[in-house]
Amino acid sequence: MEKNFKHGGLKTKTEDIKICVLRVGGTNCDAETARAFQELGAQTEIKHINELIKHGNLLDYNMLVLPGGFSFGDYVRSGVIFARSLNAKLGKQMSQFIDESRPILGICNGFQILVEYGLLPGFEGADQYSQATLTTNIPQGFKCKWVYLKNENKGNCLFTNKISQNKILKIPIAHGEGRFLFSVEKEKQLLEKLVDNDMLVFRYCNEDGILANGVYPANPNGAYHDIAGICNKDGTIFGLMPHPERAMYWWQEPDWTNKTHITSYGDGKLIFENIISNISKKQ
């Protein structure tokens, strides 16, 4: 392994990349997420948190993925129990993992975990108390549908920096608590910080790329500023509500039977491909 790119971190050959998809009771989509990374040639293991604590080490991996689902039954608040448990049991390893700029991806419930942990937005590293939340959708209810996302990141995010700015991605969501919010008193100030530090990544839009402006159904959950995904200041930690692993292959798309030209992969692949290419050493 050797030091890599501007973010620091560790680079290795694609086939030597080791990814940990961390699960607890209530996690789902772990198999699809692991499959997506395996498709791209990385070694991917699905590990239960207790297995990692007893017999493993987070630092054996190049990347950590917190997949979707309903960890710990979504009790108290979505993602909060997994976040506190991760901090209490693997806090030291997590800190070193983050200090070494090893990437962390949070999908849906994983995004909620990263926000509750204080890693996202994490303006000053890990916040003691979260500066944002992902709360009950408006309109209320569990939404499972395909949405359009606009990439507004200017190149800071390691998971999207090779995807052209303003590109529209079609990826599904499946959540009941995905409404991204800052506290009302600080929302303008924190949004400015998010944009200035190039931490804003995906925003909900319509098929033509026109931003949803808070209006349903393009914005499926009432998220502030149509926010669907953000990264930390270093661009190494990324969370998003949509599920890229459910848009990996052509056969996962709902309308493939109507198409005259079928591509091999869906838009979700772009995100997985992007991060793999960033942590792969060129041979």
Partner 1 sequence: MKVFKSFIFSIKLMRYVAKIEVSLKSGHGNPEGETAAHLLKELGYQVEKVDVSKAYTVTLNACSSAEAKVTAEEMSKRLLANPTKDNYTINVVEQ
User: In the bound complex, what is the minimum distance in angstroms from residue 136's beta carbon to partner 1?
Assistant: 5
Backbone angles phi, psi at 105, to 5 degrees: -115, 130
| 144 is annotated as an active-site residue | no
Q: What is the DSSP code string of the chain?
A: -EE-TTT--EEB-GGG-EEEEEE-TTB-SHHHHHHHHHHTT-EEEEEEHHHHHHH--GGG-SEEEE--B-GGGG-SSTTHHHHHHHHHHHHHHHHHHHHTT--EEEETHHHHHHHHHT-SS-TTSS-SS-SEEEE--SS-S-EEEEEEEEE---S--TTTTTSPTT-EEEEEEEES--EEEE-GGGHHHHHHHHHHTT-EEEEEE-TTS-B-TT-TTTSSS--GGGEEEEE-TTS-EEEESS-GGGGSBGGGSTTGGG-SS--SB-THHHHHHHHHHHHBPP-
Q: Judged by CB under 8 A, which of 101, 133, 232, 278 binds partner 1?
A: 133
At closest approach, how far in Å is the CB of 205 from partner 1?
21
From residue 214 to residue 243, the character string flagging contacts with partner 1 as x (rule: CB under 8 A) and all else as - is --------x---------------------
Candidates 11, 35, 77, 193; binder of partner 1 (CB under 8 A) is 77
Is position 138 an interface residue for partner 1 (rule: CB under 8 A)?
yes
According to CB under 8 A, which one of 50, 183, 213, 263 is a site residue for partner 1?
A: 183
Letters for 87-126 (x = contact with partner 1 by CB under 8 A, - = none) are: -----------------------------x----------
Please identify, using beta-carbon distances, which residue of 209 and 217 lies nearer to partner 1: 217
Q: Choose between 182 and 272: whose C-beta lies nearer to partner 1.
A: 182
Number of residues that bind partner 1 (CB under 8 A): 23
Catalytic residue chosen out of the listed positions 29, 108, 157, 205: 108
Q: Is 243 a catalytic residue?
A: yes
* Binding segment toward partner 1, per CB under 8 A, in 63-71, 166-174, 177-185, 204-212: 177-185
Rg (CA), the chain: 17
For the question of residue 205 being annotated catalytic, the response is no
Stretch that binds partner 1, among 22-30, 49-57, 174-182, 263-271 (CB under 8 A): 174-182
CB neighbours (10 Å) of residue 35? 14
CB of 74 to partner 1, least distance (A): 13
CB of 26 to partner 1, least distance (A): 17
Name the one range near partner 1 by CB under 8 A: 157-165, 180-188, 237-245, 251-259: 180-188
Q: Give buried/exposed letters for 195-207 (b at 16+ CB in 10 A, else e).
A: eebbbbbbbbbbe
The residue type at 16: D
Q: Which residues bind partner 1 (CB under 8 A)?
A: 76-77, 80-81, 84, 116, 129-133, 135-140, 179, 181-184, 222
> Which residues are marked as active site?
108, 243, 245
